[in-house]
Amino acid sequence: MNKPLYEQMNIIDKDYILSKLEQFLLEDSPNGDPTTELTVDIEKNASGSIICEDECVFAGEQILNALNDDFQISIFTKDGTDLQKGQKIATLEGNARQLLKLERILLNLLQRLSGIATLTKKYVNIVNPSGIKILDTRKTTPGLRLLEKYAVKIGGGYNHRLDLSSGLLIKDNHWVASKENFYKIIRDYNMKLPLQVEVDNENQLLDLLNYKVDAILLDNMEPEYAKRCVDIIRAKNKSIFIEISGGVTLENLSDYIIEGVDAISSGALMHQAQNQKLKLEFIEA
C-alpha cells in the first residue's frame, strides 16, 4: 500500500479551536444572553456533566482540553472510544453564566464530530482486513473543515487534501474548462505539489499513464470496470496512488475492495453522518 498524499489532521491548534468557539458564540449570542443574565448571579459557579445518549464513537477530546483556561475539566474518555448510552464523557466546573452560554455550541460540535467519527469507523471496519484506506473529501461543512477532518481521523479514516492550495486534483470540469493541451500541462508540471488526475474511462487512463503523476482517481466506475483499470495501472506502475471514488456507500463498499487500490474516498463521511445525541446536565451543589 502507498502512503497518503497529504499531511494528516492529528492535532488541532488550541488557539484555532478557541477562535472558532468565539466565532460560534458571537453567532449564538450577538447581544449577550439575557435569560442567563436575568436568572444567574454573575459570581455563581456551577458544574456540569456531558453525557452520551447514543452508542457512538467519541470525537472532541481536543476541544474539551482547549477550555482548560476557563473551566476545571475532567475527561473520562479518549477520542475514538466506543461510548455506551448513559456514559459520562466529561465534567466542567466554572462560572455558571459562561457554562450556560457555551452549552449549546459545545454540544453541537461534539455531536457533529462524534457522528462523523461513528460513520467513518463503520466504513473502516469493512475495509480494514484489506489495508485499503478510507479517505475524506472537501465536502465539508463551511467553517468546520479542520474539525470534521479531525473527526475522520478519530474514526480511523485518513485525510485527503485539506484545501485547494494543498495539491492538484485535475477533475472532469478542469478538462472541459481548459483551453490548453491537457497532457502538455501535465507533462510540463514541475511537481512542487502532489498531482492527482481523475479518469472516468479506460481510454483516458491509457493516455494518462504516459505521463508522470502521483495519483489517479478512478471516478464513478462499477467494481469490475474499476478492477480492470487498477490492473492496467499496476501492470505499469506500482507506486502510483490509486483512489476509487463516486457512488461508494456502506452497502456496496465491500465490492470495491480490490487488490492494488490504496484508498476509497467518500463525501458521505460528512454529508451522511448523523449527529450523535449528547447532553449537559448541571450537578446540584
pLDDT at 285 over 70: no
Is 234 an annotated catalytic residue? Answer: no
pLDDT tens figures, 109-151: 999 999 999 999 999 999 999 999 999 999 999 999 999 999 9
78 catalytically annotated: no
Would you state the pLDDT for residue 110? 98
The one catalytic residue in 88, 104, 145, 228 is 104
Mean residue pLDDT of the chain comes to 94
- Against a cut of 0.75, is the pTM above it? yes
Catalytic site includes residue 207? no
Instruction: Identify whether the C-beta of residue 120 lies closer than 8 Å to the C-beta of residue 152.
Output: yes
Question: Does 179 have pLDDT greater than 70?
Answer: no
Tell me which of 219, 227, 243, 262 is the catalytic residue: 219
Q: Let me know the angle formed at the C-alpha of 126 by 123 and 128, rounded to the nearest 5 degrees.
A: 100
Q: Give the separation between CA 186 and CA 201, rounded to whole angstroms.
A: 18
- Please give the C-alpha separations between residue 285 and each of 48, 105, 282, in angstroms, as whole numbers: 11, 24, 9
Q: Which of 14, 122, 138, 139 is catalytic?
A: 139
How far apart are the C-alpha atoms of 104 and 57, rounded to whole Å?
Answer: 20
Residue carrying C-alpha cell 462523523: 116
Q: For residue 219, indicate whether it is catalytic.
A: yes
Decide if pLDDT at 284 tops 80: no
Which pLDDT score, from 0 to 100, does residue 4 have? Answer: 87
Mean per-residue pLDDT for 240-257? 95
Q: Mean pLDDT across the stretch 268-284?
A: 94
CA dihedral 140, 144, 149, 155 (to 10 degrees): -100
Choose among 256, 253, 222, 252: nearest CA to 242: 256
Domains of the chain: 14-123+273-283 (3.90.1170.20), 129-271 (3.20.20.70)
Q: Which of 122, 145, 171, 277 is catalytic?
A: 171
From the candidates 148, 198, 243, 262, give the one annotated as an active-site residue.
198
161 is catalytic: no
Strand order in the sheet with 215-219: 133-135, 263-265, 241-245, 215-219, 195-199, 168-170
Cell numbers found for residue 128 = 480494514
Q: Which residues contact 87 (CB under 8 A, 6 or more apart)?
A: 51, 52, 77
Residue 118 three-state SS: helix
Angle of the 145-154 helix axis to the 14-28 helix axis, nearest 10: 120
